[in-house]
Structure 1
Amino acid sequence: MTMRRYKVTVTTAADGTATAYTPRVSGKLHSVHYVPDGANAYPNTVDVTITSEVTGEALVTRTNVAAAFVTYPRKDTAGADGTAALFAAGGTAVQDKPALGNDRIKIVLAQGGNAKVGAFHFLVD
Protein backbone atom coordinates (compact mmCIF):
# COMPACT_ATOMS: atom_id res chain seq x y z
CA MET A 1 0.00 0.00 0.00
CA THR A 2 1.19 3.52 -0.76
CA MET A 3 1.42 6.25 1.87
CA ARG A 4 -1.26 8.91 1.33
CA ARG A 5 -1.42 12.51 2.59
CA TYR A 6 -4.69 14.14 3.56
CA LYS A 7 -4.56 17.90 4.17
CA VAL A 8 -7.38 19.63 6.01
CA THR A 9 -7.38 23.41 6.39
CA VAL A 10 -9.45 24.48 9.41
CA THR A 11 -10.86 27.99 10.00
CA THR A 12 -12.35 28.80 13.38
CA ALA A 13 -15.76 30.40 13.97
CA ALA A 14 -16.27 33.67 15.86
CA ASP A 15 -16.37 31.74 19.16
CA GLY A 16 -12.96 30.13 18.49
CA THR A 17 -14.28 26.65 17.76
CA ALA A 18 -14.15 24.49 14.66
CA THR A 19 -14.88 20.93 13.58
CA ALA A 20 -13.49 19.50 10.36
CA TYR A 21 -12.98 16.08 8.76
CA THR A 22 -10.71 14.28 6.35
CA PRO A 23 -12.31 12.34 3.52
CA ARG A 24 -12.89 8.67 4.36
CA VAL A 25 -9.57 6.90 4.85
CA SER A 26 -8.45 3.32 5.32
CA GLY A 27 -5.08 2.29 6.68
CA LYS A 28 -2.81 2.99 9.62
CA LEU A 29 -2.29 6.57 10.78
CA HIS A 30 1.44 7.19 10.46
CA SER A 31 1.70 10.83 11.55
CA VAL A 32 -0.12 14.11 12.13
CA HIS A 33 1.45 17.44 11.21
CA TYR A 34 -0.05 20.78 12.30
CA VAL A 35 1.10 23.80 10.27
CA PRO A 36 -0.02 27.25 11.48
CA ASP A 37 -1.12 29.78 8.88
CA GLY A 38 1.68 32.25 8.18
CA ALA A 39 -0.48 35.36 8.55
CA ASN A 40 -3.54 34.32 10.59
CA ALA A 41 -2.57 31.47 12.94
CA TYR A 42 -4.50 30.24 15.96
CA PRO A 43 -3.44 31.86 19.25
CA ASN A 44 -1.32 29.85 21.71
CA THR A 45 -4.51 28.98 23.63
CA VAL A 46 -5.89 26.64 20.94
CA ASP A 47 -6.82 23.14 22.05
CA VAL A 48 -6.75 20.35 19.44
CA THR A 49 -8.61 17.05 19.74
CA ILE A 50 -8.32 14.55 16.90
CA THR A 51 -10.37 11.35 16.91
CA SER A 52 -11.79 8.65 14.68
CA GLU A 53 -15.28 9.76 13.69
CA VAL A 54 -16.95 6.33 13.83
CA THR A 55 -15.52 5.02 17.11
CA GLY A 56 -14.39 8.24 18.80
CA GLU A 57 -10.97 6.68 19.40
CA ALA A 58 -8.55 9.36 20.62
CA LEU A 59 -5.71 9.89 18.16
CA VAL A 60 -4.14 13.22 19.24
CA THR A 61 -4.93 15.61 22.10
CA ARG A 62 -2.98 18.84 22.60
CA THR A 63 -3.78 21.87 24.75
CA ASN A 64 -2.51 25.43 24.42
CA VAL A 65 -0.69 24.69 21.17
CA ALA A 66 1.81 27.48 20.56
CA ALA A 67 3.65 26.24 17.46
CA ALA A 68 3.64 23.73 14.63
CA PHE A 69 3.92 20.10 15.70
CA VAL A 70 4.44 16.63 14.31
CA THR A 71 3.31 13.58 16.23
CA TYR A 72 3.35 9.86 15.55
CA PRO A 73 0.32 8.39 17.37
CA ARG A 74 0.66 4.86 18.72
CA LYS A 75 -1.75 2.63 20.65
CA ASP A 76 -1.13 -0.19 23.11
CA THR A 77 -1.81 -3.64 21.67
CA ALA A 78 -3.32 -6.71 23.32
CA GLY A 79 -3.39 -10.46 22.88
CA ALA A 80 -6.48 -12.40 21.82
CA ASP A 81 -7.45 -12.77 25.48
CA GLY A 82 -7.40 -8.99 26.03
CA THR A 83 -4.24 -8.87 28.12
CA ALA A 84 -1.67 -6.22 27.28
CA ALA A 85 1.01 -7.29 24.82
CA LEU A 86 4.39 -6.62 26.43
CA PHE A 87 7.95 -6.81 25.14
CA ALA A 88 8.82 -8.90 28.23
CA ALA A 89 6.86 -10.06 31.25
CA GLY A 90 6.04 -6.88 33.16
CA GLY A 91 7.84 -4.89 30.45
CA THR A 92 7.02 -2.08 28.08
CA ALA A 93 3.76 -2.21 26.15
CA VAL A 94 3.89 -3.14 22.49
CA GLN A 95 2.43 -0.29 20.47
CA ASP A 96 1.21 0.02 16.90
CA LYS A 97 -0.21 2.69 14.62
CA PRO A 98 -3.97 3.24 15.05
CA ALA A 99 -5.97 1.68 12.22
CA LEU A 100 -8.81 3.36 10.35
CA GLY A 101 -11.25 1.50 8.10
CA ASN A 102 -13.42 3.60 5.79
CA ASP A 103 -13.53 6.25 8.51
CA ARG A 104 -12.98 9.99 8.71
CA ILE A 105 -10.52 11.69 11.02
CA LYS A 106 -12.29 14.36 13.05
CA ILE A 107 -10.50 17.56 14.11
CA VAL A 108 -12.08 19.63 16.88
CA LEU A 109 -10.63 22.98 17.96
CA ALA A 110 -11.46 25.11 21.00
CA GLN A 111 -10.11 28.51 22.10
CA GLY A 112 -8.74 29.07 18.60
CA GLY A 113 -9.65 32.75 18.16
CA ASN A 114 -12.00 34.35 15.64
CA ALA A 115 -11.50 33.35 11.98
CA LYS A 116 -8.02 31.88 12.53
CA VAL A 117 -6.52 29.28 10.21
CA GLY A 118 -4.29 26.21 10.40
CA ALA A 119 -3.64 23.10 8.34
CA PHE A 120 -3.49 19.50 9.48
CA HIS A 121 -1.68 16.89 7.40
CA PHE A 122 -2.41 13.21 8.03
CA LEU A 123 -0.10 10.53 6.61
CA VAL A 124 -1.87 7.20 6.27
CA ASP A 125 -0.25 3.97 5.06
Structure 2
Amino acid sequence: MSDLNVLVVETDEEFGTHLSQRLAAKGCTVNVAGGAEGVGALAHDCDVDAVLLDLGGFGREGLKIIKDVAETCPETRVILLSSSKDVALSIEAMKLGVFDEVSVPVDVDALMDKLLAARKLRRGA
Protein backbone atom coordinates (compact mmCIF):
# COMPACT_ATOMS: atom_id res chain seq x y z
CA MET A 1 0.00 0.00 0.00
CA SER A 2 1.13 3.57 -0.65
CA ASP A 3 0.57 6.76 1.25
CA LEU A 4 0.13 8.83 -1.88
CA ASN A 5 -2.24 11.76 -1.74
CA VAL A 6 -3.65 12.61 -5.18
CA LEU A 7 -6.06 15.18 -6.60
CA VAL A 8 -7.95 14.07 -9.70
CA VAL A 9 -9.19 16.99 -11.82
CA GLU A 10 -11.55 15.46 -14.35
CA THR A 11 -14.53 16.71 -16.37
CA ASP A 12 -15.92 13.22 -16.99
CA GLU A 13 -17.48 12.26 -13.66
CA GLU A 14 -17.76 8.57 -14.49
CA PHE A 15 -14.11 8.31 -15.60
CA GLY A 16 -12.98 10.33 -12.57
CA THR A 17 -14.88 8.06 -10.20
CA HIS A 18 -13.52 4.92 -11.84
CA LEU A 19 -9.93 6.22 -11.78
CA SER A 20 -10.32 7.33 -8.16
CA GLN A 21 -11.54 3.89 -7.15
CA ARG A 22 -8.63 2.20 -8.92
CA LEU A 23 -6.12 4.51 -7.23
CA ALA A 24 -7.78 4.04 -3.83
CA ALA A 25 -7.49 0.28 -4.31
CA LYS A 26 -3.72 0.83 -4.70
CA GLY A 27 -3.64 2.64 -1.37
CA CYS A 28 -3.90 6.25 -2.50
CA THR A 29 -5.89 8.94 -0.77
CA VAL A 30 -7.88 10.49 -3.60
CA ASN A 31 -9.49 13.91 -3.73
CA VAL A 32 -11.61 14.89 -6.73
CA ALA A 33 -12.27 18.24 -8.38
CA GLY A 34 -14.82 18.37 -11.18
CA GLY A 35 -14.09 21.93 -12.19
CA ALA A 36 -11.23 24.32 -12.74
CA GLU A 37 -11.99 26.82 -10.00
CA GLY A 38 -9.65 26.75 -7.03
CA VAL A 39 -7.69 23.65 -7.98
CA GLY A 40 -4.43 25.15 -6.72
CA ALA A 41 -5.96 26.02 -3.36
CA LEU A 42 -7.54 22.57 -3.10
CA ALA A 43 -4.20 20.91 -3.92
CA HIS A 44 -2.56 23.01 -1.22
CA ASP A 45 -5.28 22.45 1.39
CA CYS A 46 -5.36 18.69 0.79
CA ASP A 47 -1.54 18.54 0.81
CA VAL A 48 -1.48 16.41 -2.35
CA ASP A 49 1.63 14.83 -3.83
CA ALA A 50 0.33 15.13 -7.38
CA VAL A 51 -2.52 16.53 -9.43
CA LEU A 52 -3.90 14.34 -12.22
CA LEU A 53 -5.34 16.72 -14.79
CA ASP A 54 -7.64 15.75 -17.66
CA LEU A 55 -6.13 18.13 -20.18
CA GLY A 56 -8.49 17.18 -23.00
CA GLY A 57 -11.59 17.82 -20.93
CA PHE A 58 -10.49 21.29 -19.91
CA GLY A 59 -8.74 22.36 -23.11
CA ARG A 60 -6.90 25.65 -22.81
CA GLU A 61 -8.44 26.18 -19.38
CA GLY A 62 -6.21 23.29 -18.30
CA LEU A 63 -3.20 25.53 -18.87
CA LYS A 64 -4.66 27.98 -16.33
CA ILE A 65 -5.07 25.10 -13.86
CA ILE A 66 -1.40 24.17 -14.30
CA LYS A 67 -0.36 27.77 -13.63
CA ASP A 68 -2.67 27.93 -10.60
CA VAL A 69 -1.13 24.78 -9.08
CA ALA A 70 2.40 26.03 -9.82
CA GLU A 71 1.71 29.36 -8.12
CA THR A 72 -0.21 27.99 -5.14
CA CYS A 73 1.87 24.89 -4.34
CA PRO A 74 4.96 24.74 -6.57
CA GLU A 75 6.22 21.54 -4.93
CA THR A 76 3.15 19.63 -6.12
CA ARG A 77 3.60 17.85 -9.45
CA VAL A 78 1.00 17.87 -12.24
CA ILE A 79 0.53 14.74 -14.34
CA LEU A 80 -1.58 15.04 -17.47
CA LEU A 81 -4.25 12.56 -18.49
CA SER A 82 -4.38 12.95 -22.25
CA SER A 83 -5.30 11.39 -25.53
CA SER A 84 -3.46 11.48 -28.83
CA LYS A 85 -5.65 14.34 -30.06
CA ASP A 86 -4.24 16.63 -27.33
CA VAL A 87 -0.64 16.73 -28.63
CA ALA A 88 -0.31 20.49 -29.23
CA LEU A 89 -1.94 21.30 -25.90
CA SER A 90 0.26 18.73 -24.14
CA ILE A 91 3.37 20.40 -25.54
CA GLU A 92 2.20 23.76 -24.20
CA ALA A 93 1.51 22.15 -20.82
CA MET A 94 4.98 20.58 -20.72
CA LYS A 95 6.49 24.01 -21.35
CA LEU A 96 4.65 25.19 -18.23
CA GLY A 97 6.47 22.55 -16.18
CA VAL A 98 4.12 19.58 -16.11
CA PHE A 99 5.86 16.63 -14.50
CA ASP A 100 4.63 13.85 -16.78
CA GLU A 101 1.81 12.59 -18.96
CA VAL A 102 -0.30 9.44 -19.01
CA SER A 103 -2.32 8.30 -22.00
CA VAL A 104 -5.97 7.40 -21.74
CA PRO A 105 -6.94 4.60 -21.27
CA VAL A 106 -4.82 4.66 -18.13
CA ASP A 107 -2.42 1.88 -17.17
CA VAL A 108 -2.78 2.24 -13.39
CA ASP A 109 0.48 0.44 -12.60
CA ALA A 110 2.42 2.82 -14.87
CA LEU A 111 0.53 5.75 -13.35
CA MET A 112 1.47 4.56 -9.85
CA ASP A 113 5.15 4.58 -10.86
CA LYS A 114 4.79 8.20 -12.00
CA LEU A 115 2.91 9.16 -8.84
CA LEU A 116 5.59 7.59 -6.66
CA ALA A 117 8.27 9.51 -8.57
CA ALA A 118 6.29 12.74 -8.11
CA ARG A 119 5.96 12.09 -4.38
CA LYS A 120 9.69 11.39 -4.10
CA LEU A 121 10.51 14.74 -5.72
CA ARG A 122 7.96 16.61 -3.65
CA ARG A 123 9.01 15.13 -0.33
CA GLY A 124 12.70 15.15 -1.18
CA ALA A 125 13.08 11.51 -0.22
TM-score of the superposed pair, with normalisation by structure 2: 0.31
Higher helix share: 2
Q: Which has the higher contact order (CA 8 A, sep 6+)?
A: 1
Structure whose CA Rg is larger: 1
Higher strand share: 1
TM-score of the superposed pair, with normalisation by structure 1: 0.31
